[in-house]
Structures are given as C-alpha cells and as structure tokens.
Amino acid sequence: MSNDPLFRPLKVGAVELSHRIVMAPLTRMRAAQPGDIPHELNAEYYGQRASKGGLLITEATDITAQAHGYPLVPGIYTSAQIQGWRAVTDAVHAKGGFIFNQIWHVGRISHSSMQPDGELPVAPSAIPASGNHMTASFETVPFETPRALETFELADIVADFAQAAVNACEAGFDGVEIHGANGYLLDQFLRTGSNKRTDRYGGSIENRARLLLEVVDAASKRIGADRVGVRLSPWGGFNDMHDDDGSLLWEYVITELDKRGIAYLHVIEPRADFTSDTAPLDADAPDAASSFRALFRGAFISAGGYLPDTARAAVAEGKADAIAFGRPFISNPDLPERVRVGAKLTAHDRSTFYGGGREGYTDYPTLPQPVEA
C-alpha cells in the first residue's frame, strides 16, 4: 500500500477507488446544439482526465428542459443526450476510471430565454436572486422574479430527478451526484433567504429539507443508495444564498443523509471563491469538513481551494476521505499522476472556462509518458 494517504483505496458506495483525487463537477458549456447533447469532444475531455480507479464527477447536467439555466450545458433527459453520454462513460471506463453524473435543476438561476415556451424560471418562492444572469445568447441581464412552484409540481420534480438517475445509469454512469449546492433549486429550498413557503416544503428546517431528501429517496429507490452522492455548500453565499439557522440546518440535512446510506457526501468549503483566481482563501470562514465529517458514515469528499499538500494533510488528519479538485483538473488532465510524482502543475486560463471548443478544454498538456525499455 502507498505511503501517500491520497493513494490508498477507498470504497465509495458500489465502487472501489484506488486513489482519493476526485475531479469536481465543472460547468464548461460545450454541449452540441441543438439539443444540449454531449458529443465526441466532451468524451475526449473526460477520457483525458480519467485514471485507473479514479472518480470523475461530470459538469452539472439538466434533468429536464425546465431545469436549464445556462447556455450550452448538457442534459440527461432525451435519448440523444443519453446516447451522447454513453461515449463519455465508455471513454472513462476504457481507462479503468469511474464517473458519476451530477444532476441538477437550477430553479431561479435561469432566464425566460432558456425556459420552455419562454416561461419564467421556477423557485420555492417568487424572490429573485440579486444581481445579474446571462440569457440564452450570453447577454447580461438582471435576474427575473421567478414563479413560485405549486405544491403539486414538486412531486414531478422529484420524479424528474429519479428518472435522470435512471437515465444516467442507462448512459453507463457509475452513479449520480444530486446537486444540492451553490444556490440552485434544492439549495433554494433549504435556505430561508429563498424559501418563504407556507406548505410542508417551507418554514421549519425539516420542511425546507424535505424536497432534497425526497429526491435522494426517489433516486435511491430507482438506482440504489450506493450509487447516489449529494453535494452541499454549507454557509456558501454563491447565487445570493442566505440562511438564518447557522449550523442547525446542515446538521439536520447531513444526519438525515447519513441515515439513508448514500455512497458519499460532497461538501464545498465556504472559504473558497471559485469565481475568482485572486481572492485569497477566507481564513475566517467556518470549516465544513471539520464541522460535519463526524455526522456522516459514508465516504466524505471535501472541495474548495485545495492544493496537493493541503489535500494530503486533510486526508491524513481524517477530515475527509477524498478531495475534489476543480480548476487544477481543468489545466492538468493527468492531475492524479502529477500529484503522485510531485510534478509541477500547469496554470489554468479562466478565459476559456465557459463555451468554445478545444482551446482550454482538450489541449492542456500531460506529462511525457515514460518510454518503455
């Protein structure tokens, strides 16, 4: 067994990883149009980042047309999309890797130009996020006031998530990650700033957590809890998130997730600002991994501004079982190997993160391959 804590095996639900360097979900806006369909270029990108026994989590993927909130992001609700993802999962499995599909509904973080029939985005309550969003054609506009979902519509959203999980398995994914983070629909239900409902999905912590937990239960029933992960962003403020309950909300949600025996919990540290490359890590932010690790018995993945050394230390201390890297995985397709040998990392170029083709996507270099004797 390796002396390096990052290179020890780890069971994550139904899969057995051989190392603990996970590729974080990363929106890249490069699905084929029309139809938001994953294609060969995406398969090449994920295939480049696959490693034997390593786990990749895909970019956030629409569960329905209503779930859509950014141009050019992929879906997992049409047969063409499922077929497109098949090339991605094949490319990853060919290298002995594993891949989970992150499934999302953006809720109010959308714009009517991207919604079916030009309707308003939907949300727990008719409260817009502050600030601006993009339209289907990448124009910047203020957020629209969303339409509050009726109670009867929530059962459909739960069923849509569960169907997306089934579709993901049909596409060859090893499991799904339910996106409960970063101010999208499930997070909008969790937090008091965006959820003012008076039905059983609003008010108390139990009520606000109900939609997320129903989604987890429905997906688990269809594909098995050992193929379901959940991502949360405790205390995170991205997309205008606010909450009045401090730690209590997160303690309740994580305790409930623990009872369900899901494959993993993936937690974003609030110290990191993934929209900036210059903002330093916030030393005063609470430490989510230290706060919640003990509440969850499955695999615990921590994300947010890690470097190889801080990742190694976090795993060695038992703060997390595995570490998800975002930006370093964009610019280092062979990140696990570079971390293993201590090689220098290539810097990323933020200007090519979203949209476009190969540039900044599949053209980052790998280490020279050792020559066979």
Q: Give contact residues for ligand 8OZ (rule: CB under 6 A).
A: 27, 60, 70, 181-182
CB of 237 to ligand 8OZ, least distance (A): 12
CB of 277 to ligand 8OZ, least distance (A): 13
Closest to ligand 8OZ by CB, 184 vs 201, is 184
Closest to ligand 8OZ by CB, 272 vs 299, is 272
Instruction: Tell me which H or E stretch contains 61.
Output: strand 61-62
Residue 12, SS3 per DSSP: strand
Residues in CB range of 317: below 8 A, 6 or more apart:
none
Phi, psi dihedral angles at 114 (to 5 degrees): -110, 5
Query: Which candidate in 184, 201, 264, 361 is catalytic?
Result: 184
Closest to ligand 8OZ by CB, 182 vs 220, is 182
Measure the CA–CA gap between 145 and 169, rounded to whole angstroms.
35
Tokens found for residue 187: 């997070």
Tokens found for residue 136: 């289907």
Closest to ligand 8OZ by CB, 10 vs 168, is 168
Catalytic annotation on 46?
Answer: no
Residue 231 is given by DSSP the state E
CB of 70 to ligand 8OZ, least distance (A): 5
Measure the CA–CA gap between 219 and 100, rounded to whole angstroms.
13
- Give the chain's radius of gyration (CA, Å): 19
Closest to ligand 8OZ by CB, 27 vs 145, is 27
For the four alpha carbons of 351, 353, 359 and 365, in that order, the dihedral sign comes to: positive
Residue 137, SS3 per DSSP: coil
CB of 105 to ligand 8OZ, least distance (A): 11
Closest to ligand 8OZ by CB, 18 vs 115, is 115
Measure the CA–CA gap between 82 and 61, rounded to whole angstroms.
11
How far does Cα 345 stand from its chain's mean position?
23
CB of 254 to ligand 8OZ, least distance (A): 19
CB of 76 to ligand 8OZ, least distance (A): 14
Residue 209: which of 164, 250, 244 has the closest Cα?
250
Catalytic residues: 184
